[in-house]
Structure 1
Amino acid sequence: MLTRLCFFSRYNWVVNLVLCSSFTLLSGCSVPSVWNDEAEVTQEIQAVAPVSGDMQISTLTEQQVKFTVLASLPSDVSETSGLAMRYGKLWTINDSGDGAFLYKLNLSNQFIETKLKVTDAVNRDWESLAQDDTYLYIADCGNNSGKRDTFQIYQVPWHEIDIAPNGSRLSSDRINIKLEKQTADLEAYEHNYDCEAITMVDNQLWLFSKNWQDQQTQLYQAEFGTSPQLLKAQQTLPVQGLITAVDYHQPSGQLALLGYSKQRLFGHAFIWIFDVVGGEVDLSHAKYYQLPEYSQWEGLLWKNDKTLLISAESSPLSSAALAEVVLPSH
């Protein structure tokens, strides 16, 4: 017999101990009557938006934001860790444990439409995708264990991806990067030299760290055509959580950051929205939204100026899924 933990929406997250006869996570877990006092549960576990003297924060509520789970993702991408869109089609990658593959999703029928191999590349821990009109960028920068002193970013031409039939091989170029003061002897899950989020901002790659130690995030900026590169932190954002994805919407100048709390039991996932002004993240008009469903949300993509797509990898609490977040109009 096996004891399982089941989680619910933000206002009803409780521990529900279920005796299972197999290793399959049960769906539709019920809430024991002892936990039915919603006010008590809310008081215990409802998260409050982080507060910082450097930020002016508007907290978005469930009444302002529409959150919808769109689809379950195929088992081949159960470790989805990044999203990109090209001609209306979604692309994703898996993190560590998979090969150097790109996957095009067919969400109508929930299957993999195209699987492509990236040559001259290794998937040590692929964690994020970024894109411009010419290239797709794959960030191999996961470092939960603290054992890496360099990261890699692979640059894959879209013109090859666009015409490649299923099973094809793609060329790639590699950029080696290192964060200032990064070493390979850090304590696992207790350091600030992890990274799972990259995006393109004004023809420059922006990387945001996943800070296990202080739960902030540092902005690093990488150039093209130079390898290796030593990157210095340009800004620190007091996000009070672990940043797992980022995407920049060029037309509106909005930067979205996705993450979740370091606390897993009774934890929460969140989205920050910032303006980018003069090549910097503007903290004076930050928006904060706590997702109503906790999961390992790892992929993020602007669909338009008020709609985000997010993807979650599978976990003991949930299956891999794609969701849509519609923000209020400006």
Structure 2
Amino acid sequence: MKYLAIFLFFILTNHSFAQVVENIDTLSIDDYKMETLYLPPTLNEISALEYEKEDKNVASFWGLNDSGNKPELYRFDAKTGEIINTIFITNAPNIDWEEISTDDNRIYFADFGNNMGNRKNLAIYFIDKKQVDFSNPKQELKAQKIEFYYPEQAIFQFKNLTTNWDAEAFFIYNDKIHIFTKEWSNLQTTHYVVPIDTTKKHAAQKLETFKTNYAVTAAYINTDKNNATNGIYLLGYTKDALAFINWFDLPKNNEDLFFTSQVKKISLPLGFTTQLGQLEGISVLATENKICFSGEEFNFKGFYAKQVMHCINNFTN
């Protein structure tokens, strides 16, 4: 939360900046019903959101807190916000955890937050789903580690909130890790891929860049082409603290390029983070036609928003 406060101080004392993107359709949040669930204090710096698909007994989400907090994954009830499972990761300190994603077999979480631009220890961890015991409210597990770096980055000097080598967003697709940078000065995102391989430190492969005009804080993909919510989602906020979701069609032929001119792009302004919370997690409940996004507690210069999850119902109706 402290980084958005610094970011807001900068924009409140400087010029206004809004999202301007060509060839993109814009929706109105007023056309949707949004529900709000306040989360417990344990999740006051929630930086990730992933719907739990395996447990059919209770609707729930996975979340985590970012830099300096306990190295724990939390599963919470989608209706009450109550934490029902806590997994302590025994071998992964929380330097700056960001984002959770899953595939059929694993739960992934990233330690690649890099607000200062000086980190050389970027990693993504995973645990096997079969290790998770839903009946055990507190569990300790060891994670496996995938290390990577950006080969284009040559300078690692301390640059507070001006670096283009920060990241808070990724998902799993085509058996690869797809990373979306949070570029503080360029206000765009660069799409990288890293293999799911723990045997060596990988050079992230740069694929494409998209001018969001906001800082990207979360990403999600729904690959079910028979579901109306299929596509790629990016979440973030502008220098005005205005939050956005961008929604892209799935790429044709299952390719790894998402931002080509042929892909349909939709923008949904959500409102201000000073009211919604510092938004850093997004997940899609495809069968319920619902999009949910989470926000950290926000408290700065008279603005306050509690840690929260918002859900947009009937998104594609």
The two structures share one fold, judged by TM-score above 0.5: yes
Match of 1:238 among 211, 223, 227: 211
How far apart are 1:328 and its partner, in Å?
4.4
Match of 1:291 among 270, 275, 281: 270
Aligned to 1:50: 20
The whole-number CA distance in structure 1 between the counterparts of 2:66 and 2:195 is 24
1:62–1:83 Cα change, 3 Å? closer
The whole-number CA distance in structure 2 between the counterparts of 1:99 and 1:49 is 35
Aligned to 2:309: 322
Alignment of 1:91-130 (within 5 A): 91-130=62-101
Root-mean-square deviation (CA, aligned residues, Å) is 2.2
| Secondary structure of the structure 2 residue equivalent to 1:257 | strand
The answer for unaligned runs of 5 or more in structure 1 is 6-14, 16-43
Aligned to 1:81: 47
How far apart are 1:289 and its partner, in Å?
0.6
Contact 1:49 1:288 in 2 (8 A): no
Aligned to 2:234: 257
| Secondary structure of the structure 2 residue equivalent to 1:81 | coil
* TM-score, length basis structure 1: 0.79
The whole-number CA distance in structure 1 between the counterparts of 2:135 and 2:146 is 23
How far apart are 1:293 and its partner, in Å?
4.1
| Paired AA for residue 152 in structure 1 | A
1:271 matched to 2:256? The reply is: no
Residue-by-residue CA offset, 1:184-209 (whole Å, 9 max, x unaligned): 31411111100000101122110000
Match of 2:33 among 57, 66, 70: 66
1:302 matched to 2:274? The reply is: no
The whole-number CA distance in structure 1 between the counterparts of 2:316 and 2:102 is 25
Aligned to 1:228: 201
Contact 1:140 1:152 in 2 (8 A): yes
Aligned to 1:311: 294
Q: Which segment is superposed worse, 178-187 or 124-133?
A: 178-187
The whole-number CA distance in structure 2 between the counterparts of 1:131 and 1:104 is 13
Contact 2:282 2:292 in 1 (8 A): yes
Contact 1:121 1:172 in 2 (8 A): yes
Contact 2:46 2:307 in 1 (8 A): yes
The whole-number CA distance in structure 2 between the counterparts of 1:79 and 1:141 is 16
Residue-by-residue CA offset, 1:35-87 (whole Å, 9 max, x unaligned): xxxxxxxxx98x864223xxx21100134333322x11000010000112223
How far apart are 1:105 and its partner, in Å?
0.7
* TM-score, length basis structure 2: 0.82
Contact 2:51 2:284 in 1 (8 A): no
Contact 1:49 1:59 in 2 (8 A): no
Runs of 4 or more, structure 1, over 6 Å off, are: none
Contact 2:290 2:315 in 1 (8 A): no
The whole-number CA distance in structure 1 between the counterparts of 2:283 and 2:29 is 20
1:108–1:178 Cα change, 3 Å? same
| Secondary structure of the structure 2 residue equivalent to 1:99 | coil
Match of 1:184 among 156, 172, 181: 156
Q: How many residues align?
A: 281
How far apart are 1:235 and its partner, in Å?
0.6
How far apart are 1:327 and its partner, in Å?
6.0
1:85–1:120 Cα change, 3 Å? same
| Paired AA for residue 76 in structure 1 | T
Alignment of 1:123-142 (within 5 A): 123-142=94-113
Residue-by-residue CA offset, 1:146-189 (whole Å, 9 max, x unaligned): 22123111111111114461222112100111012334314111
How far apart are 1:273 and its partner, in Å?
0.2
How far apart are 1:292 and its partner, in Å?
2.7
| Secondary structure of the structure 1 residue equivalent to 2:249 | strand
Task: Report the structure number with the largest CA radius of gyration.
Answer: 1
The whole-number CA distance in structure 2 between the counterparts of 1:172 and 1:62 is 39
The answer for unaligned runs of 5 or more in structure 2 is 6-11
1:326–1:107 Cα change, 3 Å? closer
